[in-house]
Structure 1
């Protein structure tokens, strides 16, 4: 049995049985932590969210929502939603979306999403501050196994987005979203850079003008 010592478990993958993972994430002391389980290992992220991480999270969510609203693309966005296939895997992306005709399939309620009953989202996004290597590594494998259609990693430090389309037996880099038709990843990277110099209303105003032209 895994010894539940926070110092040993925080922000690293630890070999663990599924029952040990559940015991930890259901502990009130970890109520604000993010939990991941994959390939017989668990990762619990308890590091506080800094302002850069929070700002990028907000602007990406707003940018996607605005794009879809102006282009008539139905979406349902979920912040920090946990997706679980009991005994096998669990993930808690910073942002996730159900898109188009799959929007009505988005889960509701207060419990963790059961992937045996609900399909995975079309797009999962991790905002990577100190976790960039893991987001591009083991978590990427986790989302491939979860079979989301796309997986994005927002690199906070370098203000860039690494976007992947999940394909058979892996994933490939993409420059344009396939699930959000017409959305260039480079545009959102530019928005992240603008957000360092401009307030949110200025960024959204610029985005609205740009989206209405294309």
Structure 2
């Protein structure tokens, strides 16, 4: 508890040991209303870092690209930004973007409450846009998403404009270059879109994506 109290003074920017009750008590504090909160295997992390322009832009490009791809290919989808998921007493996570796809769309959550994973399945795809949290997203969060058996996880490296994508099955992971949950979507196309968005406006990037997906 002393470790947790000490870390609370510095916004708990690293993973620290905590009970579930300690985690829920701290995250209920209004001071963390806009924070992103994670809990897994008796460890918690709260992210309160400001979001820079490149991070925000990449988030928008990836969200737009997936929406465009799904619309053109007729893939039922529901994208959620900064949605919180909770399996009571065990874990909580809040990825930058998450998606329910195809037949899983019927089970997609709604309402203003934290998604209860005891009643709702995990999303088909979770995405972390990583700049200041890159190491954590490659290690602790990847393990978290393995533990919860999310089918696919993408890590967007803001600085390098690269995407690490993983297929997750039976808590094993495999690096992939083509999405398994969005059939036909090449990860390299999204990386090129990120690169183009740094050199031109988003309308031109969107037009280029349209030409690639049609």
Q: Please, what TM-score do these two structures have when normalized by structure 1?
A: 0.96
Aligned to 1:156: 158
**Correspondence for 2:110:** 108
| Partner-residue secondary structure (3-state), 1:198 | coil
1:44 equivalenced with 2:39 (yes/no):
no
- Partners of 2:110 and 2:74 in 1: how far apart? 23
1:59-96 Cα shifts (integer Å, max 9, x gaps): 00000000010011110000000000011000000000
For the 8 Å contact 1:25–1:35, the answer to whether it is kept is yes
- Pair 1:177 & 2:172 matched: no
Counterpart of 2:5 in 1: which secondary structure?
coil
Pairs aligned (count):
212
Q: Aligned with 2:105: secondary structure?
A: helix
Does the 8 Å CA contact 2:149/2:170 hold for their aligned counterparts? Answer: no
Deviations 1:103-124 (A, max 9, x none): 1211000000000000000000
Task: With the length of structure 2 as denominator, give the TM-score of the two structures.
Answer: 0.96
Task: Give runs of ≥4 in structure 1 deviating > 6 Å.
Answer: none
Pairwise CA distance, 1:101 = 1.1
Partner of 2:91: 89
Give the drift of 1:167.
1.7
Indicate conservation of the 8 Å contact 1:4/1:24, yes or no: no
Match of 1:3 in 2: 5
**Counterpart-to-counterpart distance in 2, 1:16 and 1:130:** 23
Separation (CA, whole Å) in 2 of partners of 1:168 and 1:104: 23
Q: Alpha-carbon deviation of 1:163? A: 0.2
Deviations 1:115-173 (A, max 9, x none): 00000000000000111111010100000111111000000010000000002232110
